[in-house]
Chains A and B, each alone.
Chain A
Amino acid sequence: MPHISLPEGMPGISAGFGFRPETAGPMRELANFLLHEPNSLSPGERELIASHVSARNHCHFCYSSHAAVASAHLGDATIVEKVEADLSTAPISSKLKALLTIAGKVQLDGKLVTSADVEAARKEGATDLEIHDTVLIAAAFSMYNRYVDGLGTWQPDNPEMYAQMGEQLAKNGYTRPTIETPDLQAK
């Protein structure tokens, strides 16, 4: 049960957003900018960074939903699991591997990022903007994950719901509510 009276029937972060629309606005805008708007990193690549950080923070709702968005963008339902099972052998670019290494350090503590990590990413073609956005995506998911978990939100175990959310978020982005589905409570 959530720690405070959150709107019923809304899973994960949507309940926090429903409770406090004032902070929901800029939090949605930030996610939309980092993950959905045009960028030299594809939306699928950026969603892999978000799902990687959420996996490492063991945030079930954020991991499941962003893994689903990544799968929807990349047309590959297995890629997220491959990245989480073994980053070194996952079928993604060397540049993205180097960026995911940076993201993994930021998830623990930003001070762990070394010049060598950054140089390695640059060697694979990463730009300053891509390195910046990787750091900020990892930092932002350190916020979203804690927000979702810290309120004790309802995090259903419903693969269909996440797959459906993934498709919608991949298409429409984050600026407006995706889930208004009290019917999902019944499942």
Chain B
Amino acid sequence: MPHISLPADLPGIRGAMAFRPETAKPMNEIVEILLHGPHSLTAGERELIATYVSSRNCTEYCHNIHGAIAAAHLGGDEALVQQVKTDFMQAQISPKLKALLVIAGRVQKDGKLVTTADVEAARKEGATDLEIHDTVLIAAAFCMYNRYVDGLATALPADPGFYRERGKRVARDGYVAVSKEYLAAHAAAAAR
């Protein structure tokens, strides 16, 4: 049960977002730019970074939903997503993305653990400053989203189908559009 009175109709981060729409707005904008907007890293690659960090933070809701969004971007390849969670070095992903996941894993623990050698290794595989910046910020931001979801003890749907369906929807329309829809629907239901 959530620690505070969150809307029962919205599990995971959505309940918290509906509880506090004022903070939901910039939080959705941050994730939209980092994961969904146009970028030299594909949306699937960025979602894999978010999924990996959430998995290392053991935040079930976040690694399930972002894993599903990643799979939706990657042609439904759920096995690849699972491989990134368990051992990304063995996954069928580019050497550049592996180098970026190393950086993300350091940031997940503590930003100070990122070394010049880590950054050089990513550059050698073709990573740009912007890609390194965004990898650091995606990892940092998911340390926020994960703690937010866990710290409020938000509701966790058990059905994998739930994540799969939502994942497709968010992969297609993005975070801001989807959040506007469920926040408006929740506000309308609450007003009735």
Interface residue ranges, A against B (CB under 8 Å): 3-5, 16, 19-20, 22-23, 25-27, 29-30, 33-34, 57-59, 102, 105-107, 109-111, 113, 115, 118, 128-129, 131-133, 135-136, 138-140, 142-152
Interface size class of B (residues with CB under 8 A): 35 or more
Tell which of B22, B29, B106, B139 touches A25, judged by Cβ atoms closer than 8 Å. Answer: B29
Tell which of A29, A138, A148 touches B25, judged by Cβ atoms closer than 8 Å. Answer: A29
Q: In the complex, are the beta carbons of B140 and A143 less than 8 A apart? A: yes
Does B84 belong to the interface (CB within 8 Å)? no
Give Cα A143–Cα B134 distance, bound, in whole angstroms. 13
- What's the least CB distance linking A63 to chain B, in Å? 13
Assuming the contacts A22-B33, A27-B26, A57-B110, asked whether A139 and B132 have C-beta atoms less than 8 A apart, the reply is no
Count contacts between A and B, CB distance < 8 Å: 147
**Prevailing SS type, chain A contact patch:** helix
- What's the least CB distance linking A51 to chain B, in Å? 17
Give Cα A34–Cα B103 distance, bound, in whole angstroms. 28
A29 contact set on B, CB distance < 8 A: 25-26, 29
Does B5 belong to the interface (CB within 8 Å)? yes
Q: In the complex, are the beta carbons of A152 and B114 less than 8 A apart? A: yes
Closest B residue to A114 using CB positions: B3
Could you show 6 A-B contacts with beta carbons less than 8 Å apart? A30-B27, A109-B147, A110-B148, A132-B4, A132-B152, A143-B141
A147 contact set on B, CB distance < 8 A: 111, 136-137, 140
